[in-house]
Structure formats: C-alpha cells, structure tokens
C-alpha cells in the first residue's frame, strides 16, 4: 500500500510541475505580445521575463511597460 502513496505523490508532483511550466511559458508569450502591441521590442521583454525568472521578470515587465499606443500609432 505504501507504493500506491508514492505513485500518487509522483503523479501530483508531475501535474504541479507541468502547470508551473505552462504558466511560465504562457507569461513569456504574453509579455512578448504585450510589448509588440505597445510598440516595444517583444524579444527583449520576453528575454527579460525569461532571464530574470518568473515572476520577478514578469513583475518588472509590468512595472516598466509603456502606455498603450493610440489608434494613429502614437
């Protein structure tokens, strides 16, 4: 019966790890798309999120992101 508990623990751990990885990748993609919409380099912002590790990089990107551009591109 102990082995069943270990297997359950491994499954829960794998699911939690997968969820964290999915959120990490999603935040990098979101940061890239948001920067591009705001007229900034999406690659640099995505790299910032990636290198400074999530969530520190994501928070830094949110704090330092510029205002949205108007309809005429300003």
What is the rounded distance in angstroms from the CA atom of residue 56 to the CA atom of residue 14? 24
Residue 49 domain-assigned (yes or no): yes
Write down the residue that tokens 């959120």 correspond to: 23
Residue 12 domain-assigned (yes or no): no
Residue 54 domain-assigned (yes or no): yes
Residue 10 domain-assigned (yes or no): no
Residue 7 domain-assigned (yes or no): no
Question: For residue 63, what are the domain limits?
Answer: 23-74
pTM: 0.65
- Confidence (pLDDT) at 68: 66
Domains held by the chain: number? 1
Residue 73 domain-assigned (yes or no): yes
> Which residues touch 44 (CB under 8 Å, ≥6 apart)?
35
- Confidence (pLDDT) at 3: 74
Residue 59 domain-assigned (yes or no): yes
Mean pLDDT by 10-residue block, N- to C-terminus, for the chain (74 residues)?
76 92 90 88 86 72 69 52
């Amino acid at each position: 019966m102990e082995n069943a508990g270990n297997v359950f623990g491994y499954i829960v751990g794998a699911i939690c790890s997968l969820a964290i990885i999915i959120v990490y990748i999603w935040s990098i993609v979101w940061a890239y798309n948001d920067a591009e919409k705001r007229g900034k380099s999406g690659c640099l912002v995505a790299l910032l999120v990636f290198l400074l590790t999530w969530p520190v990089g994501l928070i830094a990107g949110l704090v330092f992101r510029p205002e949205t551009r108007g309809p005429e591109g300003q």
